[in-house]
Structure 1
Amino acid sequence: MKKWLVVMMSVWLTACSSGGESKSYYQLPIAQGGVQSTANQGNRLLWVEQVSVPDYLAGNGVVYQTSDVKYVIANSNLWASPLDQQLRNTLVASLNTQLPGWVVASQPLGSTQDTLNVTVTGFHGRYDGKVIVSGEWLLNHQGQLIKRPFHIEATQQQDGYDEMVKVLATAWSQEAASIAQEIKRLP
């Protein structure tokens, strides 16, 4: 009787574990930088109010473009947390690192803050081995509006979702550096 129970349990466990393809979850790496002091009242303030993504990027699945008109949303390769949140968190961390003298946050900081909104229209891999990071950002600096489009194409050196997510993260970091350079030029 015990042998039969052990056999049934092993059959059941095998069936449960092979019930489908396992899922992989991806998180964009956050830039590591020095800790900034917020004690200085002379700090300039920047609120990253929103990073928005279109519906096709807002789901859980990592997106891959299979032709010039077709996109596939993965069922087994998923974002560990919503993509818009990941993009916003990594942008805030990156800008904090690259903008000394600024306090950059994902929540309102006061009445004299600058405000940054980013609309991401492309954040996906493509059939030709490239990744696409595109969109536009709008900065409200002391009532002056500055709007810039961006479009980055970067090449994957290896196949696979791990590599695609790493290259996407690098391209996003590159755009964050571009935004930081623009902000550094402000009066």
Structure 2
Amino acid sequence: MRRHVPGVPLQRWLLVSALVSAALIAGCSARSSAEGATHYLLTDQPTGSEATATGGEGLLRVQRIELARYLDVEGIVMQTSDVAVRSARNHLWAEDLAAQLHRDLAQRLSNQLEGVRVLDPDQQLRAPEREIMQLTVTVDRFQGRFDGYAVVGGKWRLLDSEGEIQAGERFQREQALTQDGYPALVESLKDAWTSVVADIADGLGGAWGR
């Protein structure tokens, strides 16, 4: 039986213990495996029209998101202690996590950055008249944590056409789970990621002098 950690509220401890227990059971129970896994989509499709660039406005290429190796798995990751992580066997992402994060990031930036055209990694333009800036995002935290929080962390960088860094910073968001279970964890991860993207948009806007 897991011991209560001093300083962590008992209610929150019980909530996270239930998540950890679910991960352990999913990994060990043949019966659960036979019943099939549950698949989760991280994000809704954002609404709104895509921004387009005209005149002297900006072009931004959003590179594919780089995940820490332990996050590049099918199972939703739970941090079970300060030093241990475990990926669930029966609670899986419905699509590659990096692909979901990239698509959501690009669409939200298109909606939030006025006058900036957002390009995919492989999208080519015929002799663009303006410099194409590059956005890189690395995600090294995207997991549930034993104290009852969803944690999203990493860094972003804005580079010019010569590869020189023009702006960027690390990000870290911790979103409390509202109830037991993996659906609640996914919702909290989603909320934390949405907050991160909003801050990236603000940082990019500042880099363009808006």
Instruction: Please give the range of the TM-score, normalised by the shorter of the 2 chains.
Output: 0.7 to 0.9
Q: Residue 136 in 1 paired to residue 155 in 2?
A: yes
Deviation at 1:44, TM superposition (A): 1.5
Is 1:30–1:94's contact at 8 Å kept on the other side of the alignment? Answer: no
Per the normalisation by structure 2, the TM-score is 0.74
Is 2:150–2:189's contact at 8 Å kept on the other side of the alignment? Answer: yes
Q: Residue 23 in 1 paired to residue 37 in 2?
A: yes
Identity %: 35
Structure 2 CA distance, aligned partners of 1:164 and 1:147? Answer: 28
CA distance 1:25–1:39, change in 2 (3 Å): same
Is 2:53–2:117's contact at 8 Å kept on the other side of the alignment? Answer: no
Structure 2 residue ranges without an equivalent (≥5)? 1-30
- For residue 80 of structure 2, what is the amino acid of its counterpart? T
Partner of 2:11: none
Deviation at 1:40, TM superposition (A): 3.3
Q: Residue 75 in 1 paired to residue 92 in 2?
A: no
Is 1:21–1:76's contact at 8 Å kept on the other side of the alignment? Answer: no
Q: Secondary structure at the match of 2:35?
A: coil
Is 1:63–1:74's contact at 8 Å kept on the other side of the alignment? Answer: yes
Is 1:119–1:136's contact at 8 Å kept on the other side of the alignment? Answer: yes
Q: Residue 180 in 1 paired to residue 201 in 2?
A: yes
Determine which structure has the larger strand proportion and give its number.
Answer: 1
Partner of 1:6: none
What per-residue deviation string (whole Å, max 9, x for no partner) do you get for residues 34-65 of structure 1? Answer: 21353735441111112111121111111011
CA distance 1:20–1:43, change in 2 (3 Å): same
Structure 1 CA distance, aligned partners of 2:196 and 2:80? Answer: 24
Partner of 1:159: 180
Partner of 1:13: none
CA distance 1:92–1:153, change in 2 (3 Å): same
User: Max radius of gyration: which structure?
Assistant: 1
Comparing 33-42 and 118-127, the one that deviates more: 33-42
Structure 1 CA distance, aligned partners of 2:41 and 2:146? Answer: 22
What per-residue deviation string (whole Å, max 9, x for no partner) do you get for residues 52-105 of structure 1? Answer: 111211111110111111111100000111111111111111111111211113
Partner of 1:99: 113
Per the normalisation by structure 1, the TM-score is 0.83
- For residue 166 of structure 1, what is the amino acid of its counterpart? E
Structure 1 residue ranges without an equivalent (≥5)? 1-16
Structure 1 CA distance, aligned partners of 2:175 and 2:33? Answer: 36
